[in-house]
Amino acid sequence: MIYHSLLAALVIRFFCLLLLCFNAHIYARDLKVAAGNFTPYFKASSYQRHVGLYEQLLSAGLNRAGFSPTYINVSNDAIKRYYEKQRVDIAVNWTGAFTGDGYPSQYRLFFYNRAILSKDNRWAKAEHVLDLKGARLASFSGASLNFGHDFQILINDINTRYFESGDQLAVNKMLVANKIDVLVADWLKFYHFIKPLGLTNKFTPLDVITNAGSQIIFRDEKVRDAFDTAITQMYVSGELDKLTLTWLAKNNLPKVSHRFLAKRP
């Protein structure tokens, strides 16, 4: 009788452990994430050791929710293609509206986007985005989808020359060479480029851009909900703010008061 009781207890324990392992496998499963490929916010490629700010913030939230992300670092356009072809579970840095099969997070990526120009530029005292009419402007691919109605008016003005590029390095060089007047882009990314050149005092960022943020799209609603909950908890605890400040210091970037991962206002 005792033997049968012990055997039954061992069998029950075995199946309980099996169930726990099965659940752990579900909630710790690997996720493929299509993300940007531009430093310092992302790895330039999946093979580099550098870890960008967004990879750190996203990984912190996903790990807290019980998931293990693997990043595929590609261009903004490729991010959408990878998601639409179902090659990834999450698409990060989705510009413009999303109408496909998936679940947008309540959190978005808010880069430190500014109108960047030299301090002696004739538009250096602009107080509104429409004050930049007539300038030679450049921005990143998809920018026109993110910066609001007034930005659309600006870039469609007959006196404004505007183009978008997927090559951030090229447009950075164009601004330094005075081939464009204004670069609408992330100030810290540009700062990261000009610091080795000793030009940080030559340029200034104007806070005249309305930014809708770029989206994080999840294929699985439950994964999205778990991520959003984890990020909310980590902001309340101060963990994500601490991660951000540590990353800025490590990368020798200005200490800015800005939440790079936030809900849309």
- How do the pLDDT tens digits run along the chain, 265 residues long? 555 554 555 445 555 444 444 444 444 589 999 999 888 899 876 666 678 999 999 999 999 999 999 999 998 889 999 999 999 999 999 988 899 899 999 999 999 999 999 999 999 999 999 999 999 999 988 888 889 899 999 999 999 999 999 888 899 999 999 999 999 999 999 999 999 999 999 999 999 999 889 999 999 999 999 999 999 999 999 999 999 999 999 988 998 889 999 998 7
Which of 225, 246, 252, 182 is closest to 65 using CA atoms?
Answer: 225
Could you tell me the residue ranges of all domains in the chain?
Answer: 29-110+213-263, 113-206
Domains 29-110+213-263 and 113-206 share a fold: yes
Intra-chain end-to-end CA distance of the chain, in Å: 67
Q: Is domain 113-206 classified as CATH 3.60.10.10?
A: no
Give the pair of three-digit tokens for residue 96.
């413009």
> Are the C-beta atoms of 60 and 98 separated by less than 8 Å?
no
Q: The pTM is what? A: 0.79
29-110+213-263: CATH class: alpha beta
Looking at residue 74, its amino acid is V
Tell me the CA distances in angstroms from 109 to 35, 49, 125, one per residue in order: 11, 22, 28
